[in-house]
Chain A
Amino acid sequence: MTIDTFGAQVASAPAVRRRRRSPWTFRLCVAILGVAVAAAVFAPLVAPYAPDSTDFSAIWAPPGPAHWLGTDQLGRDILSRLIHGARPSLLGAIALLAFATALGVLIGVVAAWRRGWVDTVLARLTDVMFAFPGLLFVVLIIAVFDRGPATAVIGMGLAFAPLIAKFTRAIALEELARPYVDAYRLQGVGGVQLVARYLLPNLMPTLVGYLVVLFGEGLMSLAALNFLGFGSQPPSSEWGLMVQEGRAGVIQGFLGPALIPGLTIAVVVVATNVVGVRLSDKLAVRT
């Protein structure tokens, strides 16, 4: 989906009606993200227990005053693990987007700037990367470089890079067609300087809106990788890994340890998407 599509949606919706309808869900989603970020930042201060604190006398305890969300198969407090798990979960998604953005923006801007054969080669390169399903591509990377959080982030970053490259190329082409670019060229500003100092700052608002939407997808993809055992390793309380570890209880009827982190991932991803779409609407209108 390109930013133009968002723009079209925005244009077709009556502005006044949108303002009335959005704030309630938008504010709720911002609050959810705020809580998630606060949990990530202040985890050691707000979590009632250490995330790896086992208690064999409280295995699979139901929610109660001592453990608000119950405990898992090792008697670890699920709430504390969720709070501590916010950090690797959110940081992982940020790191993968940062890596994918650096690579994707480089490819997109170079393709748009140079055009010609460079554009064609880079377009085919991204097409090839597109041809592989993202998860399969990452599993291939992990098979070569062994599993671990860093490999998962880099692998998933490589899978996301073509998306960002295509998007960046599209908006960069639109931006390069504007008169100020020719004006700078006529003044003798060099290519690298023009792109770094003038083009990229103008692309940023649109790009950031798109990246916020991608953040939810990145978070979910990383959680899926961790669920499959390719990323974070125990005793990490990364949310995808928590779902995977909680599976042992599902067969015995204890759904909480798997369902609670799963719901948390779903809620944060939905909140990110709601905030991201609205943010990209706003940022796209400004440009």
Chain B
Amino acid sequence: MTKQRLSRRLAAGTATCATFVLVAGCGGSAASPSQAAEQARQKVQLVDSTPAATGPLDKATWFMPKEPATLDLDNDAAGATTDTVMSNICERLVQVQPDLTVKPWLAEKYEWKTPETVVFTIRKGVRFHSGNEMTADDVVWSMNRHAADGANESDEYENVSKVEKTGPDEVTVTMKQSDAVFMKALAGTGGVVLERKAVEDQGDAFGTPSGDDACTGPMELKAWDSGRQIVLTKAANYWNQERAAKTGELTIRWADDDAVVNSLLTGEADGAYLENIASATRLAGGPNTTVSQGPDTRVWSSMVTERGGLADVRLRKALSLALDRDGVSRAALAGLGVPAAEPVGPGAWGYEADKFRAASEKLAAGAPAKPTPENIEAAKKLVAEAGATQQIVVASDGTTGRDVIANAVVDAARKIGLDARIIQIPPQQYGDYYSDAEFRKQADLFTDDYFISKNDPVGFYKNGASDATVQWVLKDPEYDALVKQAKAELDDAKRADLAIDLAQRWADAMPWLSVVQSPTTVVLAGEVTGVPASGAFRNYPWAADLGAKGK
């Protein structure tokens, strides 16, 4: 063998070995998947809020998954990113706290005078960013704007018959029937107070990059540089100096998951509320980042359509028993999700939380985190009782969450002797199933991560009413009557009992297969702290609490 040949073979051998080492090393990172997820989970703090900041912060940079379509909260195009920005700029009549309780805010107090009449006393001395004082007229005008047809939260006003000024600082809302959930809705977009003059003067520019804000919050809009960033600054004349913003200027940018992760790891960004919580595994192990999780209402569920493959409730229950929710959490959310027994997360437990927790644990019997052999046997029995079945069609759009859940449903179906397949729908069209009955006929199950803006389970379970637009299976007059009763019940303890009854009835009919909760996940750079870790951040001025850590 010549020297040249030997060196060539050596080179080839080295290259082959290097490839194998690379591939072998790549398959599992340093630790196995379960170890990596477990290590990440141990480093994640489960709290309502990150530790309070002790010092001010001149400037901070925050990341979101995408640019908001509008900064007008009443615009139907407003979504989670609009909320994330505007929660710092605009304030509500009542304010949700990081622990999800609600307290009076721009309304100094409120009182139910009769079961159908609630009176708000408007706080004096509150000034808009323009310098003008907030008046009862602004409150009436804002509430009517939220209630207008086509407004984002107009459905929260369906029971409201009249909003009127009944005194210099008094606004009275008259309802067609008492509605306890309405008060929770006022902690969301439905309770935002806008300056009438500022909004009307701006005309069509309001909510666009060329517009300005018209609110009272601890931060004001400095600039929306379309396609690049939004800059907020500390409101100079904020009415409540005790709760003035700790951060002088906040720059909000948007990027894909991997760019967000890299920006946080390299110190380019100070924080982010993560949409893809799986990326928290990298950040939880980062030397300069901390990850915290808090309760959220968001839950991934598969929604049953009228197509017929799952018309028999026994088949829905069988699938629920055989579904590996823990596997879905590990595959789609890196183990940072929580197997869900009901379609709304603990972020909705704004009152009587212990009662709701105990009830939710009971529901887990029909929706196990990991199916046991007994669960599978029980599921097979249900399938046998149901008799002849047709093929179950599950819709996916190829995105991670929907794809993992679709595969998990097919896997569960196969284990219990059901025939199921996945169809692919373009992501741009996927959401059409909510509004288009013809579109829904393509599949038996569509999957979405659904959340509510109210910290009240009744605010979710009203979706089980016969006339609801997000479920198409449950049609029960008794359920409808119970929804009406629960909404009318102003006493929290009694309403909690009614909500638990609704949850049980929902689980019995199972119009959705609840899969996995996606808790609010916030990541912060090492030097900053203070923001809420719960779902409250959508309506609470989180950036005002962002500040420097104590030394």
Contacts and interface: CB of A to CB of B under 8 A. Distances in A.
16 contacts: A54-B411, A56-B326, A56-B327, A56-B328, A56-B331, A61-B33, A62-B24, A62-B28, A69-B23, A73-B331, A146-B426, A234-B398, A235-B407, A252-B334, A253-B30, A256-B28
Given A63-B28, A74-B331, A248-B400, A253 B282 contact: yes
B29 interface: yes
A74 B404 CA distance: 7
Contacts of A255: 26, 29
B258 A61 contact: no
B398 to A, nearest CB: 5
A260 B403 CA distance: 21
Contacts of B32: 60-62
Interface string A252-271: 11111001100100000000
Contacts of B328: 56
Contact of B23 (A75, A251, A252, A259): A259
B135 interface: no
A57 B33 contact: no
A147 B424 CA distance: 11
Interface residues of B, number: 41
Interface of A: 24, 54, 56-57, 59-63, 69-70, 73-75, 78, 146-147, 229, 233-235, 245, 248, 250-256, 259-260, 263
A251 B8 contact: no
A253 B257 contact: no
A82 to B, nearest CB: 11
Nearest first, the 7 A-B pairs at minimum CB distance are A62-B28, A56-B327, A70-B27, A60-B33, A256-B27, A256-B26, A253-B29
B282 A56 contact: no
Interface of B: 8, 19, 22-24, 26-30, 32-33, 36, 257-258, 261, 276, 278-279, 281-282, 324, 326-328, 330-332, 334, 396, 398, 400, 403-404, 407-408, 410-411, 422, 424, 426
Contacts, number: 103
Contacts of B424: 233-234
Contact of A59 (B8, B19, B33): B33
Contacts of A229: 398
A78 B28 CA distance: 13
Given A234-B396, A263-B19, A57 B327 contact: yes
Most chain A CB within a 10 A radius of its CB, from B258, B276, B331, B424? B331
Contact of B27 (A63, A74, A146, A235): A63
A166 B25 CA distance: 46
A146 B408 CA distance: 28
B27 A147 contact: no
A70 B23 CA distance: 9
A260 B22 CA distance: 10
Given A60-B32, A61-B33, 11 more contacts: A54-B410, A56-B326, A62-B32, A70-B27, A73-B331, A74-B403, A74-B404, A251-B276, A251-B278, A251-B279, A259-B22
